[in-house]
Amino acid sequence: MSRTILRFTGAYDLLSPADKLALYCRNESSESADSVSAVVADIIVRVKRDGDTALMELANELDRVDLPGIEVPNELCRAAYESLSPSLRRAMERSARNIETFHRSQLPAASSVVVEPGVEIGRRPDPLKRVGVYAPGGRAAYPSSVLMGAIPAKAAGVSEVIVCSPPGVTGLPDDSILAAAFLAKVDRVFAVGGAGAIAAMAIGTPTISGVDKVVGPGNAYVAEAKLQLASFVAFDSPAGPSELLVIADDSADPRIIVREMLAQAEHDPRAVVIVVTIGDSLPPLIEEILATEIDAAARSQIIFQSLSQHGGVVSVRTRDKAVAISNQFAPEHLMLAASDPEDLLADVRNAGTVFLGQSSSVAFGDYMTGANHVLPTGGLARSYSGLSTSDFIRWTSFQKVTPEAASRFATDVGEFAKAEGLHAHAAAALGWRGPRR
């Protein structure tokens, strides 16, 4: 190849310690973390202090648009939906149906158990009252993110779902965003973007009521706003640039692997795409095809930046080693392009979502299968899951102790309470000691 396209190549075991560390570390930012933090802190202060006025001023300063108002009338969302081309409307409606079908299947049920005679403990799922969905603008509009955030919330029984998305030159979010909001039965839409939108949904303004939870992807400023406002409202899992890790054996078609690499790399110059091959026959084929395909891609410059800074094709000798690398990497998207992907899946522990077989394109999951594409990145799949119906539900626990059981509890609870120096607790328990009066 005439130029170095991939940052990491060769046998994994021969990578230098520094390269191995860099392969797993995805928390680098192209922007100064201190600068982003300071800008976001200032925006939050302004929204707290000036509410809607601050949002209008931020639209002028950051989006270069004078807003006539921050709320988008519902009839404009309907008009955007009705103006969709028949082919795009059909695709969006199909996506919406599959998202609803899958997420309704996750609805939990109340449960209770008698832990000992006279003592019943249970939990009841209650939907959140109000949820905010953030839909990014900037490089592109993502109506799929509106569907992925709003439809599961509605399926969970959330009373009110709002969407915030940056205004374009017309003073409105992209028509595709408005159409998706109408299709997802969103209650209110606001032409507000970035950290200001997150602050408005978290804190509330005269026009935008504060919500119980905010979900949806965004840039570094959106992510930082979520961190700074975590004491005000709940958020989904932290999300950064897109990630794909592929485990491929000799049964995989290298052309398909390259297509998947290009698809994920075109998201963002900071997107991370790693292929781990079992054996060393695939890497030269993948690299050869990649060298011929990258320049023909519509977003070739973004793809090249992504792969040259964060991309790699590395080989290992065994399936167990490939899975161990994946579990340590904890990718947002994991594709198992192997002859028996279900067998590999049994050992996968840390991944946002797993695609079984090379025909299970990540693009299908991004748009159409119904699984959620709002997923943890940066290795956080070790502790976070993808967005689901359960993210829009809180649990109310309940406990019932009969008088007879209270009498039996009294002495032991009294002992516990006295040991902790809580004598009023002990008295409350010991009052039930002895025969019920």
Integer Cα distance of 356 and 342 in angstroms:
7
Amino acid in position 88:
L
Of the candidates 223, 231, 164, 232, the residue with the CA atom closest to the CA atom of residue 202: 232
- CB neighbours of 102 closer than 8 A, spacing ≥ 6? 369, 370, 371
> What tokens were used for 144?
């799929």
For the chain, the farthest-separated pair of C-alpha atoms sits apart, in whole angstroms, at 91
- CB neighbours of 174 closer than 8 A, spacing ≥ 6? 137, 141, 143, 165, 168
Question: Which of 103, 267, 310, 333 does the annotation list as catalytic?
Answer: 333
Integer Cα distance of 154 and 194 in angstroms:
24
332 is catalytic: yes
Question: Which of 103, 266, 332, 373 does the annotation list as catalytic?
Answer: 332
Of the candidates 253, 221, 256, the residue with the CA atom closest to the CA atom of residue 240: 221
425 is catalytic: no
With beta carbons less than 8 A apart as the criterion, state whether 371 and 334 touch. Answer: no
DSSP-derived 3-state class of residue 240: coil
Integer Cα distance of 94 and 354 in angstroms:
22
Active site residues: 332-333
